[in-house]
Amino acid sequence: MVDIEDAGLALKRYFGYGAFRPGQEDLVKAVLGGRDCLGVMPTGAGKSICYQIPATLLDGLTIVISPLVSLMKDQVDGLEDAGIQASFVNSTQDMDEQALSLAQAAQGRSKILYVAPERLDAPRFRDFAQRTRISLLAVDEAHCVSQWGQDFRPSYLGIGDFIRSLPERPVVAAFTATATEKVRRDIVYMLGLNDPYVAVTGFDRPNLFFDVIKLETKDKNRWVARYALKHQDDSGIVYCATRKETEALADDLTKVGVSAVSYHAGMDAQARERAQRDFVNDKVQVVVATNAFGMGIDKSNVRYVIHHNMPESIEAYYQEAGRAGRDGEPARCSLLWNESDIVTRRRLLDMDNGNERLTGDQAEAVRAEHRRLLNVMIGYCRTTGCLHRYMLRYFGEEVDQAAAGLSPAEAGKGESIPVGHHDMNKEGKGEGDDHVGCRNCSNCLSTFETIDVSEVARAISRCVHDVNQGFGSGKIAQILRGSRSQDLLRRGLDRCPSYGSLSDIPEARIRDVLNQLASDGYLSITEGRLPMVHFGPKAAQTVSPDFHYEIKRVERPRALVAVEDQASGKVYGGAASSVAEEDGLDQAGASEAGPEDEELFQKLRDLRTSIAREIGKPPYIVFSDKTLRDMCRLRPTDDSTFLAVNGVGQHKLEQYGTRFMEVVAGFSSKSGTEAQEG
Ligand code: ADP
């Protein structure tokens, strides 16, 4: 029997990693010991290694079932580049190619074979499986077997049968990033896992900088453009809510010189495929996409993900934002939002009739659940506490309970997170301050001021009453401010009892409060071309004598503010400082690269790009950003130092070592001379 030491050696030899990450080692051990297992790990945690390493050590074949057909080629390319023989069979191949892949696997010339679940039913594949010794069956995205999840795939239901049909039962290892208990139970049951070893690893992604920015809709595109321009060399994804927005923003970005494409389900398959390829191959830097983008993306060097709108749930946000920084290097996840986004989301939700097969009651239950999820998302936008911690609490993870102010019982449950505006506000100032601060989210770097706006809120509500719910928010603000506009006077609105009652409050503040009142259900804003402000279900509370209402004002440190200030057209008054400093990443304790390292990094990156073009594979498959960074640090000029670089295995050394070491040597001698001359 192989033991865990062999696994460690294989990890170094093929992947160039010095140690397993949390969770990996025990899962590998379980598989090698012949035990079924279930790995629940977030995206980027390194699930693949858990079956790829055993695959290199086990006698027979490892079959990997994955729904992501578009990813298989990249995965196989990556394995072959690491020196592990692998192949795939799927619908993108013709019959001959499929036969070739199967023959190769049957003869033991592939250690790993990727297949889509639909394949398991094909007679030819069944026949192959009867004749081939299969040691391990790995089920990726295992939550697709559960009807509770969003990604249910009927074809996953056939996996259990397939396993039972095999002459010799292989070890079965299932992997997912979905954390809920229900889904987990389904996986064990539906796949027929046999007393599985279950590993659940941390959902925190410490290399991600989480950032929440409240920004008016009209300022958002400009913000994104500035950001993308400042990070021209970085890969980024921008998520928008609608197809139209993706196209408009991609256009805006292209106009200012950012290399960007849009991606959404309305584009034809070819155009989508091209956009995805170009992004993966670093030919374009930015994809502006709807949530249709990302499932089939394994690109490890995405340096930022910007949400142009608030997503519908924390799960969705965590999944989409989590596509940043899979290589473990610092990356940034920015969420742009405003109160009217909330109003729009709520409206979409109310209109959603979802599945036609549902009865009225069922549909309402589904909507109620979606509302709950949305409320938690809104809480994320409004919280003044640590954003990392907010998410972890949502996923029900053990966190520092004393600091988080939760009882142990509560901390274990995802449901226990307070929802809705007021609960989260309570968490605000007090608790936001008493935690130590992760230094890696905008809230932990900012200070907050809570402003009592009860009077403003009451006046707005009174004004809506005065005008009989017959005007939009612009007019209401004008009336309250006592505007002398012709239109207003002509309509006699200056005779309203509330006319001029907020003359000393800036219009932006009035609008802010009005929008927040709408998203909290005190008011509601109608649809259509001329949206009007009506009363919401909680309107009556605003006239109660103990009605109290607050908004939050954020004071972001200069380092964080710079980019936004520029985006909203204000002049940034400081001396030019480095990009890293301005976007707060350095402050977050992220990158420590000096200018010289940066220059070498660029050179190594250029070499990576040319090699990728030569071999026709994505650059990140040659080496990840993390590996290049480590190369800058170690500056290897001999084989053993090169092997010590994180992510360099034996096969990579043989393939690329000479060329990368040449660049390092050339650079070091040049900078050495300059130092002497200087
Ligand atoms: P997942 O499937 O869980 O989303 P991947 O398997 O794609 O994650 O791994 C994410 C990244 O982490 C990959 O670039 C992978 O090479 C890297 N990685 C995995 N395990 C380790 C490890 N033990 N040490 C260093 N890097 C690792």
As a whole number of angstroms, the distance between CA 115 and CA 132 comes to 15
Quick check: CB of 176 below 6 Å from ligand 1?
Answer: no
Phi, psi at residue 263, to the nearest 5°?
-150, 120
Choice among 129-143, 162-176, 353-367 with the minimum mean pLDDT = 353-367
Distance 328 CA to ligand 1 centre (A): 8
**pLDDT score of 9 more than 60:** yes
What's the mean pLDDT in 239-247? 95
Span 456-477, pLDDT tens digits = 999 999 999 999 999 999 999 9
Distance 72 CA to ligand 1 centre (A): 16
As a whole number of angstroms, the distance between CA 163 and CA 169 comes to 7
**pLDDT score of 341 more than 50:** yes
What's residue 201's pLDDT?
83
Q: Which residue has the tokens 């923003």?
A: 249
Quick check: CB of 624 below 6 Å from ligand 1?
Answer: yes
Mutate to test the pocket of ligand 1, among 13, 47, 49, 51 (most ligand atoms within 8 A of CB): 49
Q: How, if at all, do strands 550-555 and 331-337 pair?
A: unpaired
Q: For the stretch 604-628, what's the b/e string if a residue is b when 16 or more beta carbons lie within 10 angstroms of its beta carbon?
A: bbebbeebbeeeebbbbbbbbbbbb
Q: Which residue type occupies 360?
A: G
Q: Give the ligand 1 atom nearest the CA of 15.
A: 16
**pLDDT score of 186 more than 60:** yes
Label residue 676 by pLDDT band (50, 70, 90).
Answer: low
Label residue 413 by pLDDT band (50, 70, 90).
Answer: very low
Quick check: CB of 132 below 6 Å from ligand 1?
Answer: no
What Cα–Cα distance (Å) separates residue 549 from each residue in 143, 331, 500, 514, 544?
Answer: 42, 36, 21, 11, 12
Q: Which residue type occupies 459?
A: A
As a whole number of angstroms, the distance between CA 375 and CA 282 comes to 37
Residues 10, 49: contact at Cβ < 8 Å?
Answer: no
Q: Which residue has the tokens 């074979």?
A: 113
Name residue 551's beta-bridge partners: 451
What's residue 404's pLDDT?
35
Distance 48 CA to ligand 1 centre (A): 7
What's the mean pLDDT in 558-578? 43
What's residue 579's pLDDT?
32
Spatial CB neighbours of 634, under 8 Å, sequence gap ≥ 6: 641, 644, 645
What's residue 52's pLDDT?
98
What's residue 584's pLDDT?
41
**pLDDT score of 494 more than 80:** yes
Q: Say how many C-beta atoms besides its own lie within 10 A of residue 260's C-beta.
A: 26
Comparing CA positions, the residue from 601, 620, 622, 599 lying closest to residue 611 is 622
CA dihedral 223, 224, 227, 231 (to 10 degrees): -170
Quick check: CB of 483 below 6 Å from ligand 1?
Answer: no
Distance 582 CA to ligand 1 centre (A): 30
What's residue 354's pLDDT?
60
Task: Give the per-residue SS3 of 119-163.
Answer: HHHCHHHHHHHHHCCEEEEEECCHHHHCCCCCCCCHHHHHHHHHH
What's residue 229's pLDDT?
94
What's residue 29's pLDDT?
95
Distance 44 CA to ligand 1 centre (A): 6
What's residue 1's pLDDT?
67
Q: Which residue has the tokens 């030491």?
A: 5
Quick check: CB of 46 below 6 Å from ligand 1?
Answer: yes
What's the mean pLDDT in 438-466? 91
Q: What tokens were used for 185?
A: 């139970």
Q: Give the ligand 1 atom nearest the CA of 45.
A: 3
Choice among 186-190, 284-288, 571-575 with the minimum mean pLDDT = 571-575
Looking at per-residue pLDDT, the higher value among 24 and 433 belongs to 24
Q: Which residue has the tokens 């027929």?
A: 192
**pLDDT score of 146 more than 90:** no
SS3 state of residue 219: helix
Q: What tokens were used for 184?
A: 């987990």
Residues 350, 367: contact at Cβ < 8 Å?
Answer: yes
Residues 307, 317: contact at Cβ < 8 Å?
Answer: yes
Distance 58 CA to ligand 1 centre (A): 21
**pLDDT score of 242 more than 80:** yes
**pLDDT score of 235 more than 70:** yes
Label residue 395 by pLDDT band (50, 70, 90).
Answer: confident
Comparing CA positions, the residue from 299, 235, 270, 287 lying closest to residue 617 is 299
Distance 240 CA to ligand 1 centre (A): 28
Choice among 30-34, 112-116, 187-191, 381-385 with the minimum mean pLDDT = 381-385
What's residue 384's pLDDT?
84
As a whole number of angstroms, the distance between CA 234 and CA 188 comes to 40
**pLDDT score of 245 more than 90:** yes
What Cα–Cα distance (Å) separates residue 622 from each residue in 17, 325, 356, 540?
Answer: 15, 17, 47, 63
What's residue 429's pLDDT?
33
Q: Give the ligand 1 atom nearest the CA of 624.
A: 14
Name residue 535's beta-bridge partners: 523
Q: What tokens were used for 197?
A: 């070893």
Span 63-81, pLDDT tens digits = 999 988 888 988 999 999 9
Quick check: CB of 47 below 6 Å from ligand 1?
Answer: yes
As a whole number of angstroms, the distance between CA 281 and CA 232 comes to 15
Phi, psi at residue 139, to the nearest 5°?
-110, 110
What's residue 110's pLDDT?
96
Nearest CA to ligand 1 atom 18: 46
Choice among 279-283, 377-381, 432-436, 647-651 with the minimum mean pLDDT = 432-436
Secondary element (H or E) of residue 336: strand 331-337
Distance 337 CA to ligand 1 centre (A): 31
What's the mean pLDDT in 371-385? 88
Looking at per-residue pLDDT, the higher value among 437 and 547 belongs to 547
What's the mean pLDDT in 36-62? 93
Q: How, if at all, do strands 331-337 and 447-452 pair?
A: unpaired
What's residue 673's pLDDT?
58
What's residue 519's pLDDT?
80
What's residue 672's pLDDT?
62
Span 204-231, pLDDT tens digits = 888 999 999 999 899 999 999 999 999 9
DSSP 13: I
Q: Which residue type occupies 530?
A: L
Distance 554 CA to ligand 1 centre (A): 36
Label residue 44 by pLDDT band (50, 70, 90).
Answer: confident
Mutate to test the pocket of ligand 1, among 11, 17, 79, 301 (most ligand atoms within 8 A of CB): 17
Nearest CA to ligand 1 atom 9: 46
Q: Which residue type occupies 351?
A: M
Residues 106, 119: contact at Cβ < 8 Å?
Answer: no
Looking at per-residue pLDDT, the higher value among 360 and 171 belongs to 171
Label residue 433 by pLDDT band (50, 70, 90).
Answer: very low
Distance 52 CA to ligand 1 centre (A): 11
Secondary element (H or E) of residue 415: none
Mutate to test the pocket of ligand 1, among 14, 21, 84, 625 (most ligand atoms within 8 A of CB): 21
Tell me the average pLDDT of the chain. 84
Residues 333, 304: contact at Cβ < 8 Å?
Answer: yes
Residues in the chain: 678
Distance 617 CA to ligand 1 centre (A): 18
In the chain the domains, ranked by start, together with CATH numbers, are 4-200 (3.40.50.300), 208-382 (3.40.50.300), 454-548 (1.10.10.10), 595-677 (1.10.150.80)
Quick check: CB of 651 below 6 Å from ligand 1?
Answer: no
- Within 13 Å, how many C-alpha atoms sit on residue 416's CB side? 16
Q: What tokens were used for 536?
A: 């919401």
Distance 265 CA to ligand 1 centre (A): 29
**pLDDT score of 587 more than 70:** no
What's the mean pLDDT in 549-574? 58
Q: Give the ligand 1 atom nearest the CA of 140.
A: 2
Looking at per-residue pLDDT, the higher value among 407 and 196 belongs to 196
What's residue 152's pLDDT?
81
Q: How, if at all, do strands 302-307 and 331-337 pair?
A: parallel
Distance 403 CA to ligand 1 centre (A): 31
**pLDDT score of 421 more than 50:** no
